[in-house]
Amino acid sequence: MNTFCAVLLSSALGHGHLSRAIEKVAGKELKAIIDKQVQLLVQSVDEKPNVNHRELTPSTYKLIELGDRAIGPVVELMLHGDRNKRLCAGHVLLSITQRKYGYKPGEGGWPSDAHEERWRTFWASLGNLDFRASEAERTKSVRLWKQWCENKQQIGP
C-alpha cells in the first residue's frame, strides 16, 4: 500500500468527517463512471439481438441490472425514430419496473395478482408507454416519465 493511501485510510478510520468526505468524492466518481456506462449501453441497446427475441441484447441485460440508474436515459430512447431501439428500451423499462413490484423472471413470475395489478396501475399512471404507439402518444408518456424521474418517486409497493 502506498504511503498516501495508508495515511488516507488511517485518517479516515480515525475521523468520521474525513471518511464521509472521501465517500462523497468516491461517490461522485463512481456516479460518473456509471453514467458513462449507461450512456454507452443506451447507444448500443439494439446491437447483437437474440435471434428469437429482438428486445434481448447484451445491453438490455446490463441496463436492467443497473435498475433505477438506467431509467432516465432509457426513457429518452422511447422517442427515437428506430423501432428496434424503442422495442429494446421498452423492454428495459418494463423489466426494471416489474422487478420493483416483485416480478421474478424465470422463477414463477408475479408473487400474486395484487403485485401485478399494482404494477399495471403504476405503468398506466405514466401513460402506458409502448414502443409501437404514435410519436404523439409516446411524447406524452415520456413527459410523464420525466416528471416522475425528476420527483425521484419510489418504484414498487
**Residues 83-92 pLDDT 10s:** 999 999 999 9
**Same domain flag for 113 and 49:** yes
- Render pLDDT for 23-36 as a digit per residue (tens, 0 to 9): 566 778 888 888 89
* Cα–Cα distance, 63 to 85 (Å, whole number): 13
- Please tell me the predicted confidence (pLDDT) of residue 154: 62
**Same domain flag for 62 and 79:** yes
- Cα-atom radius of gyration of the chain, to the nearest Å? 19
In a domain, 20, yes or no: yes
| CA dist list (Å): 77 to 91, 135, 138, 145 | 11, 12, 10, 12
pLDDT at residue 157 tops 80: no
pTM, two decimals, is 0.80
- Residue range(s) defining the domain that contains residue 2: 1-38
Q: What percent of the chain has pLDDT over 70?
A: 81
Task: Quickly count helices (H) and strands (E) in the chain.
Answer: 7, 0
In a domain, 142, yes or no: yes
Q: What percent of the chain has pLDDT over 90?
A: 69
In a domain, 156, yes or no: no
- Please tell me the predicted confidence (pLDDT) of residue 82: 97
Residue 130 phi, psi (nearest 5) = -140, 130
In a domain, 101, yes or no: yes
- Please tell me the predicted confidence (pLDDT) of residue 20: 58
- Please tell me the predicted confidence (pLDDT) of residue 21: 62
pLDDT at residue 117 tops 70: yes
Residue 12 phi, psi (nearest 5) = -65, -40
pLDDT at residue 57 tops 80: yes
Bigger pLDDT: 13 or 72? Answer: 72
* C-alpha cell at position 94: 418494463
- Per mean pLDDT, which range of 27-41, 58-72, 74-88, 111-125 is the poorest? 27-41
Contacting residues for 94 by C-beta, under 8 A, at least 6 apart: 123
* C-alpha cell at position 54: 429482438
* Cα–Cα distance, 128 to 146 (Å, whole number): 14
Q: Which residues pair with 104 in a beta bridge?
A: 109
Could you tell me what percentage of the chain is helix, strand and coil, using 3-state DSSP and rounding each to the nearest 5? 70, 0, 30
**Same domain flag for 13 and 60:** no
Q: How many domains does the chain have?
A: 2
The answer to whether 89 and 74 have CB atoms below 8 angstroms apart is: yes
The answer to whether 46 and 57 have CB atoms below 8 angstroms apart is: yes
